[in-house]
Amino acid sequence: MDDSMGNNPVSIKILDQSYKVNCPVGEENNLLELAAQLNQKLVLAKSRTPANSITQLLVMVALEISYEAKQQSILHLQQAKQVDERIESMQKALANALIKGVENQDSSAP
């Protein structure tokens, strides 16, 4: 089976250079959006950094993107932990309420 099946070639432009990239069908808009974001980061890096080559720019932007992804991952884990703690707290409160309800029924039984 051919690996390219289900892919469309999409033209993207990075730092005024065009590239054709195979992209899964239905993901073209995501690819174009990501390419635009990458291009924006590269243009910004190029304007504020005396990089001597495109390779240096790419490395700097790759590190920046990796850092941002790591921060998002940490934030996601913290949020998941908070949700887990809230669920656990609610489960304990529910269990306590059920126990008190059963105790109240037992004490009021004839």
- Please tell me the predicted confidence (pLDDT) of residue 1: 38
Which of the four pLDDT bands, split at 50, 70 and 90, describes residue 6? confident
Residue 34, both tokens? 């990501």
**Buried-state track 71-81, b at ≥16 Cβ within 10 A, e below 16:** eeeeeeeeeee
Q: What integer best gives the mean pLDDT of the chain?
A: 89
Mean pLDDT score, 67-91: 97
The tens digit of pLDDT for each residue in 33-75 reads: 999 999 999 999 999 887 778 889 999 999 999 999 999 999 9
DSSP states of 43-104: HHHHHHS--SSHHHHHHHHHHHHHHHHHHHHHHHHHHHHHHHHHHHHHHHHHHHHHHHHHHH
Residue 110's pLDDT is what?
61
